[in-house]
Amino acid sequence: MRIGIDISQIVHERTGVARYVRGLVEALLKEDTTNEYVLFGSSLRKRGVFFLFFNSLLHKRGRVKLITYPFPPTLLEFLWNRLHVFPVEWFIGNVDIFWSSDWAQPPLIHAKGITTVHDLITLKFPEETDATIVAVHKRRLEWVKKECQMILCDSEATKRDVIELLHIQNMKLKVVYPGLAM
């Protein structure tokens, strides 16, 4: 199986989502010894972070491919969350599964979509969050509802929020607690 993973968020190195994405990739590669992985990263100014991370995975190099583009996150947010054009497969080739980050949800041609919802604070308390971030998350989550066959939730509370606020069926949701980063 060929699995695509959006690692774009790792450029925000001190954030929880960056640590989550790094840990997710490292854990998958440690546990899974058979599948092929395509790591997709997009950043205008911080592409070097992708190469450093990829080089740290050197021992897995035969099963892991890195594809990066010098696109700012705002461009992919516009293309994928607003217009919903340019399927991710056009950038990374055919994949069986594509895991999207928490910022942009690309269109998919044949891949099964999966993503993680860490929380829905932006929807529960929009007055506490910058309006631009609220708008981005709303657009992305609308596409998540349509594109993703599986949504990982960080907790039972997040799962309940996804059901209540996004009206997504329970059968598409799975609670997977984030691991401890050392």
Task: Report pLDDT for 182.
Answer: 46
Residues paired with 13 in a beta bridge: none
Which is it for strands 173-175 and 2-6: parallel, antiparallel or unpaired? unpaired
The answer to the question of residue 113 being in a domain is yes
Residues paired with 175 in a beta bridge: 153
The residues, any chain, with a CB within 8 Å of residue 109's CB and separated by 6 or more, are 87, 89, 94
The answer to the question of residue 115 being in a domain is yes
Task: Report pLDDT for 132.
Answer: 92
Number of domains in the chain: 1
The answer to the question of residue 181 being in a domain is no
Residue 153's closest CA among 141, 143, 136, 139?
A: 141
96 secondary structure, DSSP code: S
Q: Which helix (H) or strand (E) holds 148?
A: strand 148-153
Q: What region, left, alpha or beta, does residue 142 occupy, with left being phi > 0 and alpha being psi -120 to 50 degrees? A: alpha
CATH of the domain at 12: 3.40.50.2000
HSE toward the beta carbon, residue 179, CA cutoff 13 A:
12
The answer to the question of residue 127 being in a domain is yes
Task: Report pLDDT for 164.
Answer: 96
The answer to the question of residue 41 being in a domain is yes
Full-model pTM: 0.93
Q: Determine how many CB atoms are found less than 10 A away from the CB of residue 66.
A: 17
Structural domain of 11: 2-175
Residue-by-residue pLDDT tens, the chain, 182 positions: 999 999 999 999 888 899 999 999 998 998 888 999 999 999 999 999 999 999 998 666 678 999 999 999 899 999 999 999 999 999 999 999 999 988 899 999 999 999 999 999 999 999 999 999 999 999 999 999 999 999 999 999 999 999 999 999 999 999 998 875 54
Sign of CA dihedral 54, 67, 112, 115: positive
The answer to the question of residue 125 being in a domain is yes
Alpha carbon distance 107, 24 (integer Å) = 22
The answer to the question of residue 180 being in a domain is no
Task: Report pLDDT for 33.
Answer: 87
The answer to the question of residue 128 being in a domain is yes
